[in-house]
A and B are shown apart, each in its own frame.
Chain A
Amino acid sequence: MARTRTVVVVLVAASLALILWDLRASDQTLRQVSADVVAPVQRTVTSVFAPFGAWARQVEEFSDPAVRSDEVARISAPAGWATATGRVVAADIAGDRAVVTIDIGRDEGVRRSNAVLAPGGLVGQITAVSGQSAVVLLVTDPGSEVGVRVLPSKEIGVASGQGMDADLRVDFLSPAAAASPDDALVTLGSTAADGIPPDLPIGTVTALDSAPVASGRVIGARPVAGMTSLETLLVLTERR
């Protein structure tokens, strides 16, 4: 009993030390090494079991390079960007976090902050990269915030995630912002060489004034793709 207590106390102390270290250092080296080891195995597991699920319904054809090219062709990248194509191989385990791992990384030119596209438009942004894999923070993650513009009114707002398969919440800066159901949301974007470019579709307005706020307007928007059924993703690695 005393031995068990000692073991638990030591492990709890080690855990707390790890938490403090990570909060202070935010060092990604351990995670990168781990991802380089784990991602190839996850990719194999996904390839084997995908035929049973929704992620790769046509996995036999999917493994055919010609069909994979068709999948990629459905994703329209803005002109002037270098791209890399990856496949979702794992998902984050925490409650309603919307984070997935893809099977391409630094070796294919992927960098932090790169925009990630699915058929339809923007679905996320790269938050961590290792040699052969990268972590994508999806737009529906509670920690994701993307500057957006609603069309046709061109009003500016911030789209934040509300959970893996939930609609986006868009906070408009102006209380008089004009928006209607089925209006398109596009990214505000930036001129950075490796960030999110402007005017990428990100969702469609579904609900007006979906939450009470003291100032501005809040609306709901459906993302361009179902986050639980993502398979092939296109990463905009660099503006040429």
Chain B
Amino acid sequence: MSALPAAASAHAPRAVAVCVVGVAVAFLVQTALLPAVGLSAAVPFVYATVVLLAVVLGSSAGALTGFAAGLLLDLSSVGTLGVGALSGCLLGAAAGRLHPDRWWFSGVPTAFALVIAAAGAFTVLNAWLGQVPLVFAQGWLWLILGGVASVTLLLPTRTWLRAVVR
């Protein structure tokens, strides 16, 4: 399915509400819940949520949601404001063109790659702009495996979410 029909068939106020609630919940899961249960906040759950919403609502809505979600991450991070927004909006725009129903190039593996690339870009750009040494330790393992796990967990809900925003 293409991104445009998905966006066009969405009930706008409901879609906005789903995006706001989805991003807020994902933000709390990543920054507070995961560390509280002994997991790492480096798991890119917010970006995985952006991919889910972009798949359901299309590229334009995905870019807007990714921008807002990234900005929220920027505000809660010690990095540079705008870096998360940049990687989030590019992630949302790209994810809106995915076809997760197919297990091939434009499908689920690309969703994994996009989430990991966006979270990795957030980390690398912030290290570079903040002139902080970039280290490759456990955090990256959380980022990669957590990205795959989050997408695997969230993408199956897209059918239900489509019905909600329709």
Closest B residue to A89 using CB positions:
B32
Contact with B along A125-152 (1 / 0, CB 8 A): 0011000000101000111000000000
CB distance from A53 to the nearest CB of B (A): 4
The answer to the question of B37 belonging to the interface, with a C-beta cut-off of 8 Å to chain A, is yes
Determine how close the nearest CB of chain B comes to the CB of A23; give it in whole angstroms. Answer: 6
Segment among B99-107, B119-127, B157-165 that sits at the interface with chain A: B119-127
In whole angstroms, how far apart are the Cα atoms of A160 and B80 in the complex? 21
Contact across chains for B67 and A15 when beta carbons are under 8 A apart: yes
| Other-chain contact of B75, A30, A94, A127 (Cβ < 8 Å) | A30
A60 within 8 A of B: no
Q: Determine if A94 and B82 form an interchain contact, defined as CB atoms under 8 angstroms apart.
A: no
Given contacts A4-B3, A7-B63, contact A96 B135 (CB under 8 A): yes
Interface size class of B (residues with CB under 8 A): 35 or more
- Chain B residues, CB < 8 A from A107: none
Instruction: Specify which of B4, B134, B138 is in contact with A142 (CB 8 Å cutoff).
Output: B134
- B36: chain A residues at CB < 8 Å are 45-46, 49-50, 52-53, 55-56
A55 contacts across to B, CB distance below 8 A: 35-36, 38
> Is the pair B32, A42 in contact by a Cβ cutoff of 8 Å?
yes
B117 on the A face (CB < 8 A): no
B28 touches A143 (CB 8 A): no
User: B41 to chain A: closest CB distance in Å?
Assistant: 4
**Interface residue A31 (Cβ < 8 Å from any Cβ of B):** yes
Q: Which of A11, A90, A97 contacts B89 (CB 8 A)?
A: A11
Interface code A196-214, partner B: CB below 8 Å = 1, 0 otherwise? 0000000000000000000
B33–A45 touching, CB < 8 Å: yes
Bound-state CA distance A142–B39 (Å) is 20
CA A97 to CA B78, docked complex, whole Å: 9
Q: Are B82 and A18 in contact (CB under 8 A)?
A: yes
Taken residue by residue from 145 to 166, chain A's Cβ proximity to chain B (1 for < 8 Å, 0 otherwise) reads as 0000000000000001011111
**Chain B residues positioned under 8 Å from A193 (CB to CB):** none
A31-B32 Cα distance, complex, nearest whole Å: 17
Which residues of B approach A to under 8 Å, CB–CB? 3-4, 27-28, 30-33, 35-42, 44, 46, 58-60, 63-64, 67, 70-83, 85-86, 89-90, 93, 96, 119-120, 122-123, 126-127, 129-130, 132-140, 143
Interface residues, chain A, with chain B CB atoms under 8 Å away: 1, 3-4, 7-8, 11-12, 14-23, 30-31, 34-35, 38, 41-43, 45-46, 49-50, 52-56, 88-97, 99-101, 127-128, 135, 137, 141-143, 160, 162-166, 228-229
**Sample of 9 further A-B pairs with CB below 8 A, known A15-B89, A143-B78:** A4-B59, A7-B64, A18-B85, A19-B82, A20-B82, A30-B81, A93-B31, A93-B42, A97-B77
